[in-house]
Amino acid sequence: MTNVFDNILGLIGNTPMVKLNEVTKDIPAKVYAKIESFNPGHSTKDRIALHIIEAAERKGLLTPGATIVETTSGNTGFSIAMVSIIKGYKCILSVSDKTKPEKIAYLKALGATVYVCPASVPADDPRSYYEVAKKIAAETPNSIYINQYFNELNIDAHYSSTGPEIWEQTEGKITHLFACTGTGGTLSGSAKFLKEKNPDIKIIGVDADGSILKTYHETGEIDPSEIHSYQIEGLGKNLIPSALLFDRIDHFVRVNDEMSAYCTREIALKEAIMGGYTTGAVLQALRQYANANPFSENDLVVLIFPDHGSRYITKVYSDKWMEEQGFINNCVHNYEEVFKTEYIK
């Protein structure tokens, strides 16, 4: 039988790539999106969850009935919970209070125990979702802490899958790779593989306004004054993850909440791709980069679209939420006309 699997985990990886047409009209290069929402858990994090958990099994770190603990903004948690169900493990997750209720409901539906922690505290604060996960793992017998931010297997997962897939799908013609950086594993692993194939490929990381990663890449120093809250989940950091290989990244582009939100909805409207908030962030980064570094018709650009928009229906896809952020009034894309809703009385 073809295209038949023993369980849902067999669907992880080998995600498709789609040419972008309308949202990249002003860019002469060929631009493709790697649609990671085609993973069964609807995000690129499926790759690391399966890779890290199976590596732990091979090392004898996981035994029947074990508990897997992790810090997550949502997607990694979904993936770990999914893998845990199939493999028979318990799952405990800590999330920040930026995480929308529907994401928490999704995690609970997959059997995870969820701890909600304040996002506004420093990473080393005992209340942060990093420290809470560490404490739970330390106090829970027969448990492991995935620790995706400081786990080299995060990089390896993408070095062995995402990078080779991109190389094969573009027939080795890729010239630029854009991806959002949270833990850094997706971009770092892919970049590591692609740079080995062709060191001239440009690797561009996407950072958030309110994060420290771009400045750290440029100066080697952390600037605490740059840290402030922002809305994009899974993008940027207030600490330096070891899963982020700065030496494989050529350039960082910093994007803000507002323009990333418009781009997210523009992709849905013009390309029929319902991506998450970081989907818009990576498109906005491409546009900003192109303003200073014009592309040619010989360039082949790949954007990694990390997850599915269904997880952001009450956030970036909600008119009410957009209004609450003040985005509609500031919008330069004629928001009221494009996204209007007609009510019949």
Catalytic residues: 45
Q: What does the alpha-carbon distance between residue 204 and residue 304 come to, in Å, rounded to a whole number?
A: 11
CA nearest to 35, candidates 250, 271, 251, 299:
271
Kind and range of the H or E run holding 195: helix 185-197
Using CB atoms within 10 A of its CB, is residue 53 exposed (0-12), middle (13-18) or buried (19+)? buried
**Please, are residues 115 and 136 in contact by the beta-carbon 8 Å criterion?**
yes
Kind and range of the H or E run holding 301: strand 300-305
Q: What does the alpha-carbon distance between residue 98 and residue 232 come to, in Å, rounded to a whole number?
A: 9
Edge-to-edge strands of the sheet including 143-145?
113-117, 90-96, 67-71, 143-145
Using CB atoms within 10 A of its CB, is residue 99 exposed (0-12), middle (13-18) or buried (19+)? buried
**Residue 330, CA atoms < 13 Å, CB-side half-sphere:** 11
Phi, psi of 246 (to 5 degrees): -60, -30
Q: Cβ of 149: how many Cβ atoms within 10 Å? A: 20
Phi, psi of 115 (to 5 degrees): -110, 125
**Please, are residues 192 and 245 in contact by the beta-carbon 8 Å criterion?**
yes
Q: What does the alpha-carbon distance between residue 91 and residue 216 come to, in Å, rounded to a whole number?
A: 33
